[in-house]
Structure 1
Amino acid sequence: MSEHRLLGTTGVHVSPLTLGTMMFGAWGNTDHDASVRVIHRALDAGINTVDTADVYSRGESEEIVGRALKGRRDDVVLATKFHGAMSDDDPNQGGSSRRWIIRAVEDSLRRLQTDYIDLYQVHRPRPEIDIDDTLSALSDLVHQGKIRYLGTSTFLPSQVVEAQWTAERRGRERPVTEQPPYSILAREVERDLLPTAQKHGLGILPWSPLAGGWLSGRYRRGEQPPVSSRQQRQPARHDADLPENRAKLEAVHQLQDLADEAGLSLIHLALAFVLRHPAVSSAIIGPRTLEQLESQLGADKVSLSDDVLDRIDEIVPPGTTLNEADRGYAPPALVEPGLRRRR
């Protein structure tokens, strides 16, 4: 692993690659021992930052991470998230209300077998909840020593600014990181989100830098697109018959050709591209197996030439996201007709 990077203006040093653990547990690798081996290999390779969430397999991922970090906890920058529904029956077991946050953090601490979380993140925006209520609860947790820093994930630029403004005006702890979707196929955050984050000194931890597997090298020109479990879980992002995904597939074929010409794997090309942006602190990789992890290690040592970067810009222009579903969050005003039609 190459030299560590600063996480925004926190003074915390993070590895260029962060180990994301969404695929450990029922959502991916159900073998806990195998998942622990992946985590240990990542740490041994120099990755010092681990990201999870309570909603990943409803707590199972956090439990695996907690087990894997025994004896190594203080060497790791540990991040987790709250917001996702943790019950099918109780609507209060999720979201970003003070009531839920105070309970959710205790549940995560127990599963992670730790007495503090380095970075506690709001997993998605909740426009109907006063951001001050959320920041107030998180500030209390910072003052209690249960979390060190707070962050956000998949917030719109306006929501990032609102959180900063609210924290300053109300005397709350401010979010110090943002975790957006960012890959060669999903570049919209380059328009406003990344410059906004830089202006406010936020660390950026992009999720899905391999575009949910589209940039894994599995999609080869002239071959039938592979069928994956993600097609059933997220058809809007992965159904190859949809026009927007056909556009992604054509871009992937061109990017694979470019990677071949440059003597790189497509995985390394994709990760190196994300790491090249000056706003990015660390890119989150999400391997399910040791083989997948090994294919991603070393991407931080790859330096893309300006010619290669220019070719990437020709294939997917800066600021362009080929499929709306890859944005990770649809504002209510776009999905609820009543919010854009005068009654």
Structure 2
Amino acid sequence: MSLDQYYTLGRSGLRVSRLALGAMTFGENWGWGTAEQTARAMFDRYLEAGGNFIDTADMYTEGSSESMLGKFIEESGTRDRVVLATKFSYNAQPGNPNAGGNGRKNIMRAVEGSLRRLRTDYIDLYLLHTWDRLTPAEEVVRTLDDLVRAGKIRYAGLSDIPAWYAARAQTFAEAHALTPLVNMQLEYSLAERHIEHEYIAMAQNLGLGITAWSPLAMGMLSGKYKPSQQGGEGDGRLAKVSGAPGFERFTERNWKIVAELEKVAQEAGQSMAAVALNWVATQPGIASVIIGATKLEQLDANLAALSFELPAESRSRLDAVSAPERPFPYYMFTDIQQTRIHGGVAVGDKPAGYAPPLFVPKVEARKIAVD
């Protein structure tokens, strides 16, 4: 695989690279990240490599990420080529509850701000960033449909939501002939595999392509951290903010994954980051993987993730060491239980060419190579 081989996103005609450039690191407003000159160099390098899918959000580096991207895209004249994704949910005006969340009022406010900062009159992919535990899925879907009809966005999706909420939203869109969702953006890595329980099967059945964020587990799988008496040490965000929600990565399980990943990477002659990214990019249901960097050399190392094929034996070892627990009811769906359900008779897929009464197309990666 290479970046100039594009795949359709979910059940849509939108073609995206298998690696997306994450722009959360564009800007230094959060005390970490990268200055504009380095961000521009990474933007240029990604496009030169054939990439076309760029992800940001209105809250990344307090809006600086969107502003930088808008400037880069305008100056490079690449608006038609770039598939630009951004997100809404987080509050922009403390004290004003309607300047955040997923209600119609905030979505309409947020999209105008993003369009202004991105210096564009449309957004290719607009995503609900995080479930607010309040707004009905129906309200979100109708609002996104209105934005598509108004020409302000081309496609819509969801990020960081419960599986039931995504299923309700997509089913509502289908039932009322509204703009269908084409994407879910979810955390996925060797260290975080819980989406395998529900989300991947749901995405394949409902036409949602998954883009994976934090495929290196906040840098845990990059090789920059080592175990210590304090849990872990290294030069990166995890060592600075360890203990914050979502950053609790220095666990016994994760150190075992890191150790096995290091062995596999050495055997393959690749960096740990490249192997970890390759594993995610070639998992079922994954349409694209979001890569982020603060240095150009980090981006170059990440872009090498598609340049090799991971041996089956190596993949099996990584699968085994990172296998997630099977909580209820998932342990009920093992091969042993299925054998009892089907009476010991082998039950597989129907023969090729067999047409079931109701055809529901599954999400499949459709490659479009560009010479």
TM range (shorter): 0.7 to 0.9
Which residue identity lines up with residue 167 of structure 1 in the other structure?
Answer: A
TM-score (norm 2): 0.81
Q: Is the 8 A contact 2:84 2:123 kept in 1?
A: yes
SS state at 2:286 partner: coil
Q: Say whether 1:29 aligns with 2:28.
A: no
Correspondences of 1:177-196 after superposition (within 5 Å): 177-196=183-202
- The residue identity in structure 1 corresponding to 2:17 is S
**Aligned counterpart, 1:104:** 110
Unaligned runs of 5+ in 1: 322-343
- Map 1:1-343 to 2 at 5 A: 1-2=2-3, 3-25=5-27, 26-27=29-30, 28-70=32-74, 71-220=77-226, 225-233=233-241, 235-236=243-244, 237-238=246-247, 245-317=251-323
Distance 1:192 1:234, change over 3 A: same
Say if 1:138 and 1:173, in contact at 8 Å, map to a contact too.
yes
Write the distance in 2 (CA, Å) between the matches of 1:320 and 1:17: 29
Q: How far does residue 300 in structure 1 lie from its aligned partner after superposition?
A: 1.6
Shift in Å at residue 161 of structure 1?
0.8
Contact 2:224-2:235 at 8 Å conserved across structures: no
**Which deviates more from structure 2 when the two are superposed, residues 258-267 or residues 59-68?**
258-267
Q: How far has the Cα of 1:34 moved from its partner?
A: 1.8
Pick the structure with more strand per residue.
Answer: 2
Deviations 1:257-300 (A, max 9, x none): 22112222111111110111131111000111212101101212
Distance 2:207 2:98 in 1: 33
CA deviation vs aligned residue, 1:62-112 (integer Å, no higher than 9, x gap): 001101111111110000000012233322211111001111101000000
1:325 matched residue in structure 2: none
State whether residues 190 and 319 of structure 1, in contact with CA within 8 Å, keep that contact through their aligned partners in structure 2. Answer: no
Equivalent residue, structure 2, for 1:339: none
Aligned residues: 318
SS at match of 2:124: strand
SS, match of residue 35 in structure 1: helix
Look up the equivalent residue of 2:71 and give its one-letter code: R
**Cα pair distance change 1:259/1:226, threshold 3 Å:** same
Task: Confirm or deny: 8 A CA contact 1:268 1:302 kept in the other structure.
Answer: no
Q: Which moved more, 1:64-73 or 1:247-256?
A: 247-256
Residues 218 and 233 of structure 1, relative CA distance in 2, 3 Å threshold: closer
Aligned residue for 1:149, secondary structure, equals: strand
State the distance in 1 between where 2:320 and 2:112 align: 48
For residue 314 of structure 1, what is the amino acid of its counterpart?
A: A
How far apart are the structure 2 equivalents of 1:246 and 1:112? 42
Residue 318 of structure 1, CA deviation: 5.2
Contact 1:20/1:50 (CA < 8 Å) preserved in 2?
A: yes
Q: CA deviation at 1:227?
A: 4.5
Alpha carbons of 1:320 and 1:259: their partners in 2 closer, same or farther (altered >3 Å)? farther
Q: Residues 232-269 of structure 1, C-alpha deviation per residue, up to 9 Å, x if partnerless?
A: 445244457x6xx2331232122112211222211111
CA-CA distance at 1:174 after TM superposition: 2.1
The separation in 2 between residues aligned to 1:290 and 1:320, in whole angstroms, is 39
Moved more, 251-260 or 94-103: 251-260
- Matched residues in 1 for 2:287 and 2:122: separation? 22
Highest Rg: 1 or 2?
2
> Distance between the aligned counterparts of 2:123 and 2:84, measured in 1?
6
Q: For 1:8-55, what per-residue CA distance to the aligned partner results, in whole angstroms no more than 9, with x for missing partners?
A: 121111111000100111233352122112111111111100000001
Distance across 1 between alignment mates of 2:108 and 2:247:
36
Q: Give the root-mean-square deviation of aligned CA atoms.
A: 2.1
- With the length of structure 1 as denominator, give the TM-score of the two structures: 0.87
Deviation at 1:201, TM superposition (A): 1.4
